[in-house]
Amino acid sequence: MLRLAPLLTIFALLASSPAAAQSSLPPLPVPDAPASNDFDARLDQVFNGVSASPVESAVPAVEAVAADEVPATVTLEPVETLSPVPSLPPPSASQAPTLHVTDDIFGDEEATGGEIRWRYFNEHGRLRPGDPRQQNTYQQWRVLIDTALQTEIFEFRATYIDASNFGEELPRTVFDENRSDLLQLYGDLQLVLEGELESRIRVGRQLLDYGSQRMISRLDWANTERNFEGARFYTSWSDSFIDAFVSRPVNSAAGSPLRSRSFDHADQSAMFSGLYGSTKSESLGELDLYWLFLDETEPQITRLDGSVHTIGGRWNLEVPTEQDGWSATWLFELEGAGQFGEDNFVAGGNGQEVTAGAISVVGGTRLGTDENSLTLTGFCWVGSGDGDATDRRINTWHILYPDSHGYWGLIDNLSGSNLTDLGLRAEFAPVADVTFDLQWHRFHKTRTGDFVYDVQGLPIPGSASTPGDIGSELDLSLILGKSTDSSLQIGYFWFWYGDAINANPALSRPDAGQLYVSLSSRF
């Protein structure tokens, strides 16, 4: 603890500094809404008096958004993935240095570790609850304590979380606070160990991360993270693995009711299950195939849920080259998936047929070494939208449980539903553990007649009848000590809104901006 004293002193000084005084703002005028068609009239009936989110707000809640490996002493080795817009999280407790005690009456070994993280935000104009003209300054603390008891064939793990949010001028979101709770509590048993073949089963409360995390992520960027409760059976051999899981979402970041100051428990109305397999070779790269099934027995007409199957795959290829003393690696990633099932979203009534899809393409090059490199990539994401909400077919892509922050803009305005995102990214690491990150996005609706969807995946009322130009975003970040026990991150993000937001006076707002500072220490 002695080596944490200076950092904790800095935390205390920063946390005690008063927020900048905010000028009093007049009430936001509510101009007459633009002329609406029959669908808009139906939409007004749907949204009036119906809650679209665990957070009570006119505009659905948004998250603040990155993704580490599932904490486990014996687990599948993570594979390097090409992430066009990384979530830039500080290292999590699962990666923390552990203290090993050999003479232990509880088993062969104990492991314990944790993380303390403090963050400061100053923002305005985001797509989140409250007056969009209001400056919002707030701070967040997160404490993770991770402990495990292990034998040769069995592991018991518990992870405590205390995530707090304070000083805000606008309503909190579902990703901001979870006081004194259990993030993980599971037992993990080895069933088979024959050479390179190993099979295990894990039962209890746990985190889920798979592949690129466009479909399933623990969402480490969010103050609360995201967890599930259930069972996983996983088998690994050589450079391949296959996972089968059955689970229920637990905390509000996973879509359950908000319980920020009471003990979380699994949402009994929702079941999330699937199969995920991956194999890797030097010549062909990495190939993932997956089937995922979300079954919500209490669907709501103001959100995408229902009973939806997702079948997809991902191919990630890195080709290293050397010429005249320079080393370069060509990068390519392709991921696509389709969805089918039924839902009752908005105007079409119960039992609407779901047919949707999404595709992501990333390409670029990495020059230099791991300690001194420049990475340049371009990326394209297309998540399908619905052009007719009354034809009893739903064509809008359901995002499931992704790392939205890591892919669709660091300011956390949007998710991948009805979204076309074209962009460029440059990462420059002049020395080890110093990274400059620059990202640019151009956002459009995939189908003009569908909504804009916020970072939580909820439709923004009033956006279905607006034009297709959502806007542009520029993100600048500096990350110091990314691979060390202590890290510092500083970033500023800009969002310039298009007519998809500003054409409706009820949604129109100044262009958005967000400053953030993050300090974290692992122990």
Lowest mean pLDDT among 74-88, 112-126, 232-246, 253-267: 74-88
> Looking at residue 23, what is its pLDDT?
38
Higher pLDDT, 300 or 289: 289
Given a cut of 80, whether residue 473 has pLDDT beyond it is: yes
Higher pLDDT, 469 or 21: 469
Higher pLDDT, 202 or 29: 202
With cut-offs at 50, 70 and 90, classify the pLDDT of residue 348. low
> Looking at residue 397, what is its pLDDT?
98
Given a cut of 80, whether residue 32 has pLDDT beyond it is: no
Given a cut of 90, whether residue 160 has pLDDT beyond it is: yes
Range among 58-62, 88-92, 190-194, 371-375 with highest mean pLDDT value: 190-194
CA atoms within 13 A on the CB side of 14: 19
**First-to-final CA distance of the chain:** 8
With cut-offs at 50, 70 and 90, classify the pLDDT of residue 326. confident
d(CA 165, CA 177): 6
Q: Where are the beta strands (DSSP E) in 14-129?
A: 109-124
b/e sequence 77-113, b meaning 16+ C-beta within 10 Å? eebebbbbbbbbbbbbbbbbeeeeeeeeeeeebbbbb
Given a cut of 80, whether residue 7 has pLDDT beyond it is: no
> Looking at residue 108, what is its pLDDT?
65
**Mean pLDDT of the region 11-30:** 41
Domains in the chain, please, with CATH?
54-522 (2.40.160.100)
d(CA 25, CA 190): 60
Percentage of the chain surpassing pLDDT 90? 67
Given a cut of 60, whether residue 509 has pLDDT beyond it is: yes
Mean pLDDT score of the chain, rounded to an integer? Answer: 83
Higher pLDDT, 441 or 48: 441
| Single-letter amino acid code for the residue at 32 | D
**Mean pLDDT of the region 439-452:** 98
